[in-house]
Amino acid sequence: PQEQTLILFKPDAIQRRLIGALLSRIENKGYKIAGLKMLQVTPELARKHYEEHVEKPFYPHLESFITSAPVVALVVEGPDAISVMRTMMGSTNGREANPGTIRGDYGTSRQMNLIHGSDGPEAAKREIPIYFQDNELCEYSLSL
Ligand code: CMP
């Protein structure tokens, strides 16, 4: 099905100047960018986004990492966008992620793993409005 998913380029991706490289992978794949912005995540926003992790032992580290520099937030749209983006991202831990995936090609860290993508339709539905108002999402055709 046609889906929208929430993608974040995390602070490590911004600091390593990988915005263009990661964006190119998404565009080259054929997906549509329906929304795009750079923002600084606040602790409050982090707690909202990572609701399910707030009680986990690693949460304080996750919060300080995700608020350490800006992120780029995107809504990526297209056929099976949620699961295909997860496949393109690779496993959470860069050391376990396959070569050819974003995490497999660019990182060795479990926490500083470059990119976030909604892990299912329920998550996408919850996460997109955390980062984007309706009027910040664009509808347009991909062909000229
Ligand atoms: P993500 O899947 O975007 O959302 C949760 C994040 O928490 C995950 O990426 C990692 O960055 C981080 N994370 C998950 N598990 C651990 C862990 N065991 N230790 C530290 N960070 C983790």
Q: Cα–Cα distances in Å, from 45 out to 17, 34, 51, 71, 124?
A: 23, 21, 10, 12, 16
Quick check: ipTM above 0.90? no
Q: What is the pLDDT of residue 51?
A: 96
Is residue 62 included in any domain, yes or no?
A: yes
Tokens found for residue 138: 């664009």
Is residue 142 included in any domain, yes or no?
A: no
CB distance 107 to 5 below 8 Å: no
Q: Cα–Cα distances in Å, from 122 out to 3, 114, 126?
A: 11, 22, 6
pLDDT at 144 over 80: no
Is residue 143 included in any domain, yes or no?
A: no
Total count of residues recorded for the chain: 144
Any atom of ligand 1 within 6 Å of the Cβ of 32: no
Q: 54 alpha carbon to ligand 1 midpoint, in Å?
A: 11
**What residue owns the CA closest to ligand 1's atom 1?**
116
pLDDT (tens digit, 9 = 90+) per residue, 90-139?
A: 999 999 999 999 999 999 999 999 999 999 999 999 999 999 999 999 99
Is residue 104 included in any domain, yes or no?
A: yes
> How many folded domains does the chain comprise?
1
Is residue 116 included in any domain, yes or no?
A: yes
Is residue 106 included in any domain, yes or no?
A: yes
Q: What is the pLDDT of residue 143?
A: 86
Q: Cα–Cα distances in Å, from 44 out to 13, 37, 51, 64, 81?
A: 22, 18, 10, 12, 28
User: Residue 144: CB partners within 8 Å, gap ≥ 6?
Assistant: none
The whole-chain average pLDDT of the chain stands at 97
The domain of 117 spans: 2-136
| 53 is a catalytic site residue | no
Is residue 30 included in any domain, yes or no?
A: yes
- Domain containing 113 — which CATH number? 3.30.70.141
Any atom of ligand 1 within 6 Å of the Cβ of 113: yes
Backbone angles phi, psi at 31, to 5 degrees: -80, 155
pLDDT (tens digit, 9 = 90+) per residue, 49-70?
A: 999 999 999 999 999 999 999 9
